[in-house]
């Protein structure tokens, strides 16, 4: 027996398909097809989250540019900036907030890595819900419903390979 696909809930072999708590012999499946259905709120939320993360990344680039310009100005004329700050009477809380922001910028690379991973993952998962249906002697049955395009593709290809054999 050949195993074509295996994960926590799905097993596709050369003789049967095991999905969740159902086990179907491949010989009982007369016809198998897939269909794409309208996305639900979870898929829409993933797409919206991708947009928010993209926006945060763009805004962080602009914030970094502004801080870079501020540091360059401070380095160019340190005594002039110090006297200007003294004349402006900058509250201590503002300086503390600036110090906290600068400390948090040290975590920016890890934060960017997390955001990029989330965006890549959302593109890999896709923006639709995929279903695998089968025609059996009892009628049409829904084998699987997934919102992960990559996993769906792997399972469906494994099922096709098993059925072609």
pLDDT 10s per residue in the chain (165 long)? 899 999 999 999 999 999 989 999 999 998 999 987 776 666 667 667 777 777 777 777 777 667 666 666 665 555 555 555 555 565 666 666 776 776 676 677 777 777 777 777 777 766 778 899 999 988 999 999 888 888 999 999 999 999 987
Residues 74 and 118 in one domain: yes
pLDDT of residue 158: 94
pLDDT of residue 141: 93
Residues 49 and 112 in one domain: yes
Q: Is the pTM of this model over 0.85?
A: no
CATH number for the domain harbouring residue 134: 2.30.29.30
Residues 56 and 121 in one domain: yes
Range of the domain at 81: 42-125
Residues 51 and 79 in one domain: yes
pLDDT of residue 11: 95
Residues 81 and 106 in one domain: yes
Domain count, the chain: 2
Residues 137 and 148 in one domain: yes
Residues 55 and 29 in one domain: no
Residues 76 and 150 in one domain: no
Query: For residue 134, which of 24, 20, 6 has the smallest C-alpha distance?
Result: 24
pLDDT of residue 5: 94
Q: Beta 10-13 vs 16-19: how paired, if at all?
A: antiparallel
pLDDT of residue 153: 92
How far CA 93 is from CA of 70, 90, 97, 98, 105, in Å, comes to 18, 8, 6, 9, 18
Q: Rounded to whole angstroms, how far apart are CA atoms 2 and 74? A: 68
Two tokens at 74?
A: 């401070």
């Amino acid at each position: 027996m050949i195993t074509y696909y295996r994960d926590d809930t799905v097993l596709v072999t050369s003789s049967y398909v095991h999905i969740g708590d159902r086990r179907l012999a491949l010989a009982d499946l007369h016809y198998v097809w897939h269909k794409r259905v309208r996305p639900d709120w979870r898929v829409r939320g993933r797409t919206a989250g991708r947009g928010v993360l993209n926006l945060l990344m763009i805004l962080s680039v602009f914030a970094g540019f502004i801080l870079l310009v501020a540091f360059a100005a401070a380095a160019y004329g340190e005594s002039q900036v110090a006297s200007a700050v003294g004349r402006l009477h900058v509250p201590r809380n503002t300086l503390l907030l600036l110090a906290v922001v600068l400390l948090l910028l040290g975590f920016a690379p890890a934060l960017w890595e997390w955001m990029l991973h989330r965006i890549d993952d959302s593109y890999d998962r896709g923006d639709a819900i995929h279903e695998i249906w089968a025609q059996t002697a009892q009628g049409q049955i829904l084998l699987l419903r997934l919102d992960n395009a990559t996993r769906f593709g792997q399972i469906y290809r494994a099922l096709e390979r098993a059925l072609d054999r």
